[in-house]
Amino acid sequence: MIFKKRFLEGDVAFTVYKGAAESSLPIALVPLWGEYPNVEGSVRLGIRDTTLLLIFKMRSPQLLRMVDRHNGPVYRDSCVEAFLQQQGRDEYLNFEFSASGSILAAKGKNRENRTFFDPDLIDTIPRTIEILENNNRQSRYVVSIELDLRAFGLVEEGREVNLRGNFNACGDGHKVPYYLAANPIGTVKPDFHAPDFFAPLIITGR
């Protein structure tokens, strides 16, 4: 499998292709804060107008999808995440997607002070979960997401999309918890709320 990251002035940047995410190359989610046998993942990125398109492909020893409400502890399930921040802003947003279909979405300047989005707005996010394999040896699944950046205040009317962020996967409630991210995070303990380690999203294509 081919993984792609783009480098810009010495820093990692994520290439976001105009059009379908299926047309982009997968970006590897690398293990952080430990080794996790038989866990791997990737994300593909695309954009259509002001809608960010994401396709996460995951493999892990088990599949958890217990959380059945928005803004619940989805990070304990089999979970994929997008952390996004407008360039020049202190506030960032975290979108966390359980394999159950439930979503946690919040905003704030740090981990401690988060404001959750209304569940009715969260429920408008189109997402599909395709279970490719689920047995006592391994699980494979795909999460496809269409994230309306304007609806969540990540781009203003008439402005271009100008974002930083990171893309993650975790399973805090798994027998062996795991943590993966597209851009490495230099914290001692697992913590995706680390905007210092966000990378620019570079939009390319027609």
Residue range 97-132, pLDDT digits in tens: 999 999 999 999 999 999 999 999 999 999 999 999
Q: Domain ranges for the chain, please list them.
A: 6-204
Strands 139-148, 51-60: pairing kind: antiparallel
Is residue 204 pLDDT above 90, yes or no?
Answer: no
- For residue 177 the two structure tokens come to 């918890």
Strands 40-48, 11-18: pairing kind: parallel
Is residue 4 pLDDT above 50, yes or no?
Answer: no
Residue range 13-32, pLDDT digits in tens: 899 989 888 888 899 999 99
Is residue 35 pLDDT above 90, yes or no?
Answer: yes
Instruction: Please name which of 134, 198, 170, 195 lies closest in space to residue 34, comparing C-alpha atoms.
Output: 170
Decide if domain 6-204 falls under CATH 2.40.30.10.
Answer: no
List, in order, residues 6 or more apart from 97 with CB less than 8 Å away: 56, 74, 79, 80, 81, 103, 127, 143, 145
Query: Could you identify the residue written with the tokens 């020049």?
Result: 88
Q: How many angstroms separate the CA atoms of 19 and 122, rounded?
A: 23
What's the predicted TM-score (pTM) here?
Answer: 0.92
Query: Could you identify the residue written with the tokens 């690398």?
Result: 30
pLDDT (0 to 100) of residue 136: 85
List, in order, residues 6 or more apart from 142 with CB less than 8 Å away: 55, 56, 57, 58, 129, 130, 132
